[in-house]
Amino acid sequence: EVQLVESGGGSVQAGGSLRLSCAASGISSEDFAIGWFRQAPGKRREGVSCVGSDFDGRTYYEDSVKGRFTISRDNAENRIFLEMNNLKPEDTAVYYCSAKHYSAYDVLLNDYWGRGTQVTVSS
């Protein structure tokens, strides 16, 4: 049914850049929001950056990544990207792609997750 596959993680030095990609199938931008979450060892999973469905096109960025990360969505290819610049050691985490299916009444119907991709930033 719904499949989310992340790629683009790796190890970089502080100040470097990475571009994450999430290939999605079984979803539509008309009624799915999609974005990126991350989880560092010993910490709770947190939202990084998300875009709403076509119904709600708002974009969200976690405060610590504003000005450094940029999310984009390619509807034709059912893919989202996260351009990460000026990476910091505290960005080290497993990054997950997540898609959320909403009804026309803004009710969350379902929640899907990829397996994640590791991002490691050294000082």
pLDDT per position as a tens digit, 88-98? 999 999 999 99
CA nearest to 35, candidates 11, 18, 57: 57
What's the average model confidence in pLDDT over 77-84?
93
Predicted local distance difference test score (pLDDT) of residue 63 = 97
15: pLDDT strictly greater than 90 = yes
C-alpha to C-alpha distance for 116 and 41, rounded to whole angstroms: 14
User: Do 98 and 111 meet the contact criterion of CB atoms below 8 Å apart?
Assistant: yes
DSSP symbols for 55-109: SS--EEE-GGGTTTEEEEEETTTTEEEEEE-S--GGG-EEEEEEEEEE-TTS-EE
What's the pLDDT tens digit per position in 36-78? Answer: 999 999 999 999 999 988 777 789 999 999 999 999 988 788 8
pLDDT, position 8: 98
Q: Report how far residue 56's alpha carbon sits from residue 78's, in angstroms, rounded to the nearest whole number.
A: 17
